[in-house]
Structure 1
Amino acid sequence: MQTRWIKYCKRCVMPETKPDLYIDGEGICSACRSFERRTLVDWEKRKQELLNILDRYRSRGGSNYDCIIPVSGGKDSHYQVIRMLELGANPLCVTATTDMLSPIGRRNIENLKRLGVDYIEVTTNPVVRRKINRIALTEVGDISWPEHVTIFTIPVRIAVQMKIPLIIWGENSQNEYGGPASAAENNTLTRRWLEEFGGLLGLRVSDLIGQNGIEARHLIQYTYPSDEELQKVGVTGLFLGYYLPWDGYQNALIAQSYGFETYHQAVEGSIANYENLDNVQTGIHDYFKFLKYGFGRATDIACLHIRRGRISREDGLRMVKIRDGKFPWTYLGVPIEDVLKEIDMSLEEFISVCDRFTNKRLFVCDSRGRLVKDKDGNLTKINYDNVEEL
């Protein structure tokens, strides 16, 4: 009989199972505490710091770009580009092609170009990429691993090749510091710094060599430049969210006014229609987060809105119960069978992989320890109905 309960933040609806989250003695999570501290920030001073950094890295005489902005075409990418253009920067936008790009994702990329920027898109070998998608799904439970790696490696490789020192990242998920560019000393990106944010999940790029015919020559774009190459150019980065108040919903509203396209309904597994619109594999990615940690994208977004006072915790909880953690039969309207076909995996094999990565301490099991599923393949969290009381 299962007796373990999941503790939830009393202010938002984030569970204690979120990696690196801490719930204090008052029952408030570290993410909510971090948001509290934003009221103490002097945002005008931070903006001036940003302007000073941009001036320091600005290309003199227009002989090169002022910075690189890694972009996917989403709402945050639009916001980053809009703000940097407003600040007078001349950016080069760089996209590491999405794993399985959706039609709306392509349209949003084309719209971003129309903001008035030079743009480079690097597409990795799709045959090799599909192999890596499958390996990463079966070994670490993350079908989007190749995308998470190349989001960081490709812009940095371009920065080295084109001798553009400054990279403008978007949101800093920890919201603790501005990035190496803000440091007076030792402000160069290093391999160690990038690997901390690169989402490798214990699977190293070198581990792929020899699997399913993958060779080192296939992994060039997945590999960081050497620390010597980074230091030679002085490649550094900053998180725009450290210097300007960051809010995904705000970013979406601003992006829409510049032509960014949202989905026609709330995205599967989410409570919003304005994010994660580019990668058709994202439904599987988010579902595995739910299997591992007991929360999905709906929880993430609900917590963001609760902290900003847009919805109550009670409403957020109801929305999460309706939308979070459903088996990803479709994503952006694409059937899961079509997504799995890309990585040469059957639905039966996929369900077996799901069960292997499911944290059984978080979900209802029968007397034999088997996961209990409804007719649609959905699981039940162990104390979902009592969150209000925690």
Structure 2
Amino acid sequence: MIQLDRSQIDVQMQTCTRCLYTTSHPLGLTLDEDGICSGCRIHDEKDTLDWSVRWKMLQELVSQYRVPNGRSYDCIVPVTGANDSYYIVHLVKQKLGLNPLLVTYNKYFNTPLGVRNLANLRIKFDCDILIQNINPNSVKNITRTTLRELGSVYWPCLAGQTVFPVQTAVRYQIPLIIWGAHQGVEQVGMFSHENEAEMTRRYRKEHDLMGKEADDLISNFDTLSEDDIWQYRYPNDAELQRIGVRGIYLGNYVRWDPKAQHEKMIKSYGYSTSNFPRTFDAYDHTDCYNYMDLHDHLKFLKHGYSKVTDHASREIRHGRISRSQAISMVSSYRAIGTQYSNLFCEWLELDDQSLGFILDQHRNPLHWEKIPPVDWKFKHSLPLVEEGKFNHGFQVTNKLSMEESVSYITIGKGWP
């Protein structure tokens, strides 16, 4: 359960005058004398940096990892059936001319569209792929623990997606891992693009994993065992140094624009997109029933904002929508309830009432007020300042399959 002392509750939460992020952002965010946040200021670098120069820097960086005889892999690229995977592989294989080994972690919340996108990715780019399928009983055991203790249904997904590529790098002695954009740079300006931040164990633990490594989940008050968590362990420093493992972010060398990039992938490679109930972005995380649904609802309960705020703030920064339009969209989407939580309850063998009780334990008192006996009130209102709807420009090419009989695709068998 989230608990704050009185001083934390009384702190005035400030909002950026340009985007919609506040100073309570979990990644940490600061405002300057003009009231503009660090994320917006770092985003401004995208219009001032010479990206042709930075691309040449990337080419020089990866050249030292290219395998001369072409009989092995030059790098590892983590992928899913959604997000920026197509664009990352496009840059790595088509533009940099590298031979990547694709790796993906099976999150067990797969949509048919995600299975299709992942299979299509492998086929269109003609790449080898490794898929990690961890014992589903262990995944469920961990999910029960992290839901109860951290208010997260997604901890195993985040842990697996960030550790399996590193484990593979050590196992196959492929030192270079190429990721897409750095979340801390893109959202809150944690680093400058010129800092060329790389993937680290510390960032993964503090931000992706909410401060909990796999071994931290085991306690005398829980039923998790060594058999459940061992595959989520990050390789030790000696192993990483022996291979020389490093993870670089393409967003430091390429002007990152998810909307434009996805639209190029739709046209060039047939990436499929879908509407979501809780946001206007049709391109992000189409592979998962939970990410834009129950996971996003938990984010709203804990942090006072949801994925639509991320999307709206990003679109403000790229100049495609106004701040008033963004406020209206957030007001329209953020309070929409979950649509697929019944699938999660069925998968975890949990009833709706028990899930609701656990969710309420993770409501942040900075954002929520209890209205006895069972109701809650969100403390921060946003005006509907835009009349009517406008064309946000996102293309929907498909839809998530959600008939009565649908359940998670726990193991994707491929796509013709």
- TM-score, length-scaled by structure 1: 0.87
Cα distance in 2 between the residues matched to 1:99 and 1:26: 45
Cα distance in 2 between the residues matched to 1:166 and 1:247: 24
CA contact (8 A) 1:47 1:243 kept: yes
Structure 1 equivalent of residue 389 of structure 2: none
Deviation at 1:343, TM superposition (A): 1.4
Q: 1:71 aligns with which of 79, 89, 101?
A: 79
Structure 2 equivalent of residue 362 of structure 1: 367
Structure 2 counterpart of 1:143, which letter? V
Structure 2 counterpart of 1:71, which letter? V
Cα distance in 1 between the residues matched to 2:104 and 2:10: 47
Q: 1:122 aligns with which of 132, 138, 150?
A: 132
Cα distance in 1 between the residues matched to 2:29 and 2:136: 36
Structure 2 equivalent of residue 247 of structure 1: 257
Deviation at 1:386, TM superposition (A): 9.6
Cα distance in 2 between the residues matched to 1:157 and 1:134: 25
Name the SS of the counterpart of 2:84 in structure 1. helix
Deviation at 1:85, TM superposition (A): 1.2
Deviation at 1:49, TM superposition (A): 0.6
Deviation at 1:166, TM superposition (A): 0.2
Name the SS of the counterpart of 2:131 in structure 1. strand
Per mean C-alpha deviation after superposition, the further-off stretch among 43-52 and 355-364 is 355-364
How many matched pairs? 367
CA separation of 1:245/1:318 partners in 2, compared to 1, >3 Å: closer, same or farther?
same
Deviation at 1:213, TM superposition (A): 4.6
1:100-140 Cα shifts (integer Å, max 9, x gaps): 11111111101110121111111111111011112111100
Cα distance in 1 between the residues matched to 2:23 and 2:348: 33
CA contact (8 A) 1:64 1:164 kept: no
CA separation of 1:3/1:196 partners in 2, compared to 1, >3 Å: closer, same or farther?
closer
Q: CA RMSD in A?
A: 2.5
For the pair 1:42 / 2:53, whether they are aligned, the reply is: no
Structure 2 equivalent of residue 164 of structure 1: 174
For the pair 1:9 / 2:9, whether they are aligned, the reply is: no
Q: 1:201 aligns with which of 197, 203, 210?
A: 210
Cα distance in 1 between the residues matched to 2:193 and 2:35: 28
For the pair 1:305 / 2:305, whether they are aligned, the reply is: no
For the pair 1:353 / 2:351, whether they are aligned, the reply is: no
Structure 1 equivalent of residue 290 of structure 2: 281
Name the SS of the counterpart of 2:181 in structure 1. coil
Q: Which protein, 1 or 2, shows the higher relative CO under an 8 Å CA cutoff with sep ≥ 6? A: 2
Deviation at 1:364, TM superposition (A): 4.6
1:255-307 Cα shifts (integer Å, max 9, x gaps): 212111001x2x12111111111121211111111111111011100011011
Cα distance in 1 between the residues matched to 2:200 and 2:238: 9
CA separation of 1:177/1:16 partners in 2, compared to 1, >3 Å: closer, same or farther?
closer
Deviation at 1:76, TM superposition (A): 0.3
Structure 1 equivalent of residue 60 of structure 2: 52
Structure 2 equivalent of residue 381 of structure 1: 379
CA contact (8 A) 1:70 1:155 kept: yes
Structure 2 equivalent of residue 259 of structure 1: 270
Cα distance in 2 between the residues matched to 1:138 and 1:16: 26
Structure 2 equivalent of residue 30 of structure 1: 38
CA contact (8 A) 1:168 1:240 kept: yes
Name the SS of the counterpart of 1:60 in structure 2. coil
Cα distance in 1 between the residues matched to 2:378 and 2:201: 40
Structure 1 counterpart of 2:324, which letter? E
CA contact (8 A) 1:178 1:239 kept: no
Structure 1 equivalent of residue 326 of structure 2: 316
1:214-266 Cα shifts (integer Å, max 9, x gaps): 33233232011111111111111100111111111112112212111001x2x
Structure 2 residue runs of 5 or longer lacking an equivalent are: 1-8, 186-190, 387-416
Structure 1 residue runs of 5 or longer lacking an equivalent are: 374-378
Structure 1 counterpart of 2:14, which letter? K
CA contact (8 A) 1:15 1:295 kept: no
For the pair 1:218 / 2:228, whether they are aligned, the reply is: yes
CA separation of 1:275/1:178 partners in 2, compared to 1, >3 Å: closer, same or farther?
same
Identical residues among aligned pairs (%): 32
Cα distance in 1 between the residues matched to 2:92 and 2:192: 19
Cα distance in 2 between the residues matched to 1:93 and 1:336: 30
Structure 2 counterpart of 1:61, which letter? N
1:12-71 Cα shifts (integer Å, max 9, x gaps): 122222120112232111111111122221111110010001111111212320100000
